[in-house]
Amino acid sequence: MMFKTKKRRKLTLFALTIVMSIPFLSGCRILPYYTVIWKDYDGTILEKDRFVKEGTMPSYDGIEPSRSNTAEFKYRFAGWSPEIATVTEDVTYTATYTETIRKYTVRWKNYNGITLETDENVPYGTIPSYDGVTPSRPDDNEFYYTFNGWDPEVIPVEDNATYTAKYTPHSFSENDGFVYGSDGDGGLEVVRYHGNASIVTVPSTHEGLQVRAIGSGAFKDRASITKIVLPSSVTKIKNNAFEGCSLLNDIHLSTSIVFLGEAAFKDCIGLGEIAIAANISELPNQLLLNCKTLQNVYLHDNITSIGMEAFRGCHMLTSITIPTSTNVIREGAFQGCTNLTTVNLHDDIVVFEKNAFISCTRLTTITLPSNLVKIGEFCFSSCVQLEAIFIPKLVVSIGNGAFSGTSKLASIVVEDNNPIYDSRDDSNAIIEKASLKLIVGCKNSVIPTSVTTIARGAFTGATELASIEIPSSVKKIEEFAFALCTSLTSIIIPSSVTTIETSIFIGDSSLTSIFAEATSKP
């Protein structure tokens, strides 16, 4: 009994110690703990953090959330919703994603697998479109082919796609060799011709529809054709329509034609005569390029411009009358018309573009229009028989080399009161007033004592220039100034010249003496 009593006393003392300690702790606050849950967009729990102390900033420690792309969208992790904040209670954060519409690559191929066009970054859901030239397939021994859409059928983009051109085969015996297509306005155009006839009559109708146009390249390189008969229903002849019909020598363009395309008769080397339809207002570029036997051209008064290289290389053309309605002769319009001797111009033409009459080697005279404003670069270059030139007073722009290579040129006169140029002191030259620069010379030129610069190519190709005196007023000689002056045997360069550019005497095969009066190298 004594043992048990002593043990009870010890327990009582311990309890008393604990009770006495409670008042000491009662003034302290114990911080609570919370649970933070991290979920993906679909509710999947990615991480659960227990016992997160109040007031701390929670953090996600797992792998960055991701969301699978769909055919329409790409997804990229953007953060958490709601915005992460210090813990004050149990909280759930859900992953958020930016959504970007996906883009794809669409390829367009021809029947033989050759890629015609590649369109990258085509947005999902849009309908792709082919923007290239209409696909074509060469003829074989049995058929010719017309384009007939794409395989598979074009649909809104859902993935990378490849479309292949489809064609409809046609027997050569169909429609007498004509292939028709829509003209876009309820009628037809001749798309191609596959026959071998020498005389071709284009029908006015086909299957109840009017034939209104000759399509681009429709008769190109059909070497058997000598004559084309067009119906009055045809109003348009498109680009390159008859190009390369080398034996074509007879075609009539009726007044019903209101449109002629570029190079429509290019390389028709057998064509000797043509009358341009009255309703054509602009003569197209390269219309009769390299029609080497063309001798007669009839132009109506409605034409306002002669197109670029329209008659280039028409070697048998001897004369041309420019309509009174024309105000511009474009680049290279009569280039290389080597038998052209007569050009009838009217006074309302204002522009000769570059190379307009270059290499018209038999042209001896030309009267420039009184209202002419511009003579382009190399306009009359290599007109080796041209003897005289009169520059009207309204000309304010003469391009570089405009009269280079005119070896027979003996007389140059600028009309009085020209604001930019003159031919002072009977110099037989063109002087730019403001710069005192001689820009065009000839075999009979005398350089005025007021000139300070001899311009680039001023005497280039003056092959009959035997001598020239450079006055002491000249300070600069620009490149090619006396190039290809093959009759020039000697020349003195005065000490006043301080600048000599390169190649000023290049090609002067007879030049044996150059005397420079300068005491030091310019």
What is the distance between the terminal CA atoms of the chain, rounded to a whole angstrom? 139
Element housing 20 (H / E): helix 2-25
CA atoms within 13 A on the CB side of 487: 14
Q: Omega of the bond prior to 152 within 30 degrees of 0, cis?
A: yes
DSSP, res 424: G
Q: Are 277 and 254 in contact (CB under 8 A)?
A: yes
Q: What is the Cα–Cα distance from 197 to 309, expressed in whole angstroms?
A: 30
Q: Give residue for tokens 């954060």.
A: 93
What single letter denotes the amino acid at residue 357?
F
pTM: 0.70
DSSP, res 23: H
Query: Which SS3 state, helix, strand or coil, does residue 297 take?
Result: strand
Query: Which SS3 state, helix, strand or coil, does residue 119 take?
Result: strand
Q: What is the Cα–Cα distance from 136 to 217, expressed in whole angstroms?
A: 12
Q: Omega of the bond prior to 369 within 30 degrees of 0, cis?
A: no
Helices (H) and strands (E) in the chain, counts: 1, 37
Smallest Cα–Cα separation from 338: which of 355, 311, 361, 318?
A: 361
Locate 129 and state its tokens.
Answer: 């479109």
Q: What is the Cα–Cα distance from 121 to 228, expressed in whole angstroms?
A: 48
Smallest Cα–Cα separation from 192: which of 209, 208, 170?
A: 170
**Radius of gyration over alpha carbons of the chain, in Å?**
44
Q: Give residue for tokens 């489809």.
A: 166
CATH topology of domain 373-378+385-522: 3.80.10
Q: What is the Cα–Cα distance from 210 to 191, expressed in whole angstroms?
A: 14
Q: What is the Cα–Cα distance from 50 to 48, expressed in whole angstroms?
A: 6
pLDDT at 367: 96
Q: In CATH, what number does 103-168 get?
A: 2.60.40
Intrachain domains 103-168 and 373-378+385-522 with the same fold: no
Q: What is the Cα–Cα distance from 343 to 54, expressed in whole angstroms?
A: 101
DSSP assignment of 324-335 equals TT--EE-TTTTT
Q: Are 34 and 49 in contact (CB under 8 A)?
A: no
Q: What is the Cα–Cα distance from 214 to 241, expressed in whole angstroms?
A: 6
Query: Which SS3 state, helix, strand or coil, does residue 177 take?
Result: helix
pLDDT at 183: 86
91, burial (CB in 10 Å: exposed 0-12, middle 13-18, buried 19+) = middle
Where along the chain do its domains lie? 37-56+69-101, 103-168, 373-378+385-522
Smallest Cα–Cα separation from 124: which of 70, 191, 171, 198?
A: 70
Q: CA 517, 446, 520: angle at the middle one, nearest 5?
A: 15
- pLDDT truncated to tens, each residue of the chain (522 aa)? 343 444 444 433 333 333 344 444 455 567 799 999 999 999 999 999 999 999 999 999 999 999 999 999 999 999 999 999 999 999 999 999 999 999 999 999 999 999 999 999 999 999 999 999 999 888 776 777 888 999 999 999 999 999 999 998 877 556 678 888 888 888 899 988 988 899 999 999 998 899 999 999 999 999 999 999 999 999 999 999 999 999 999 998 988 999 999 999 999 999 999 999 889 999 999 999 999 999 999 999 889 999 999 999 999 999 999 999 999 999 999 999 999 999 999 999 999 999 999 999 999 999 999 999 999 999 999 999 999 999 999 999 999 999 999 999 999 999 999 999 999 999 999 999 999 999 999 999 999 999 999 999 999 999 999 999 999 999 999 999 999 999 999 999 999 999 999 999 999 999 999 998 876 666
